[in-house]
Amino acid sequence: MPLKTIDDFNIQQLHILDETGIVDKDLEPDLSDDDLKKLFQAMTLSRMADARMLNLQRQGRIGTIPVNKGQEAASCAPILALKETDWFVGSYRELGARLMRGETLENSLLLFNGWEEGNVNENNDRTLPISIVLASQLPQAVGLAYASRYMKEKDTVVLTMFGDGATSEGDFHEALNFAAVLNAPVIFLCQNNQYAISTPLKIQTKSSTIAQKAIAYGIPGIQVDGNDALAVYQAVKEAVDRARADEGPTLIEAVTFRMLMHTTADDPSRYRSDDEVAVWEAKDPLIRFKKYLTDKGIWDEKSQERLEADCKQQIDDAVQAFESRKPFAADAPFDYVFGTREPLIEAQREKFLAKLEKEGDHGED
């Protein structure tokens, strides 16, 4: 029996704004001026908040944080395609997306300083808390999507985000397989920022794209320029439309770059060169999107000055609110080991407090 081709596959790549901010008019999405400005405002707030949080961490005022600089388009643009009634299931490097979903900046400050209250989004209970364990949120996203149809929510979709490192986890493959066979309305958005901590993509996978992994599961897959806010929005919008029409899940690979460290506990100079960073600095998502807005005649330097002043005030207010909270007692974690107090735990508490007292620091006030 001769060899024969039983199917053909291909993966497309989408760009709408080039690296200088020039738009492809044939592909330009139909977004209102207000939505475009809303997106740029969110990207700018995310960038400025990220910088402030990095300073706070270096001053010892918050704990270890993952930084977002460079990935604002990939994380903010998808939210424009969602409704408030949709679910957002994120990882830990989507500050802009969370702010657009109504989460406060104070939440992030609390969370990265050990306050569990930082996990609660009081403005949208369909935004799940940050997921630190790679890919663990993806099966949950599929479950939410499947359940939404089971509960007769015919218009609900789920957007889940993750990094390139997550695609080497079993949960990623199990989630895509379940989503495909259950026809679950899920959009899987991978922020391919080129490094899984210090591991470059080229030694993490032999695949030339992450998007092509969709082929194995029989679902649509596309690669987009992750620093092009319009391309990211358009790809997600089309995936959302398919999901709402019960046409199943989509995998989107947003190719971007983490401009700074993985977390503040990392030193990227040990595994990547300044030349590589410089190449991506020229592709900055904020600079090219600002150029696009300016060319459309809906943005100017005065708009920029007002925006930056407003963002600074929002950040100042959030930091002040966060730092005005009374610190929790040093032995508070012992309260939450069990629902009731247990002798062994209480003995450990006493030993812990005695040690603090001996060191001359009760950990309060």
Q: Which two tokens stand for residue 55?
A: 């300073």
Bridge partner residues of 222 (DSSP) = 12, 252
Q: How far is CA 341 from CA 87, 337, 344, 345, 354, in A?
A: 37, 8, 9, 7, 19
Q: For residue 70, is it left (φ>0), alpha (ψ between -120 and 50) or beta?
A: left
Q: Which of 47, 93, 242, 258 is catalytic?
A: 258
Q: How far is CA 196 from CA 73, 202, 269, 307, 340, in A?
A: 19, 11, 15, 33, 41
27-58: string of b/e by CB count within 10 Å (b at 16+)? eebebeeeebbbbbbbbbbbbbbbebbbebbe
Of the candidates 82, 53, 56, 80, which has an alpha carbon nearest to the alpha carbon of residue 66? 53
Return the half-sphere exposure (C-beta side, CA atoms, 13 A cut-off) of residue 308. Answer: 9
Q: Which of 58, 150, 271, 325 is catalytic?
A: 271
The residue with tokens 């977002």 is 68
271 carries an active-site annotation: yes
Q: Which of 98, 101, 242, 262 is catalytic?
A: 262
Of the candidates 49, 53, 72, which has an alpha carbon nearest to the alpha carbon of residue 62? 53
- The rounded distance, in Å, linking the Cα atoms of 353 and 361 is 9
- Give the type of residue at 189: L
Provide Rg for the chain, Cα atoms: 22
Residues 6+ apart with CB under 8 A from 346: 334
> Can you list the positions of beta strands (E) in the chain?
12-14, 87-89, 158-163, 186-192, 195-196, 199-200, 221-225, 250-255
- The rounded distance, in Å, linking the Cα atoms of 92 and 362 is 32
- Positions annotated as catalytic residues are 258, 262, 271
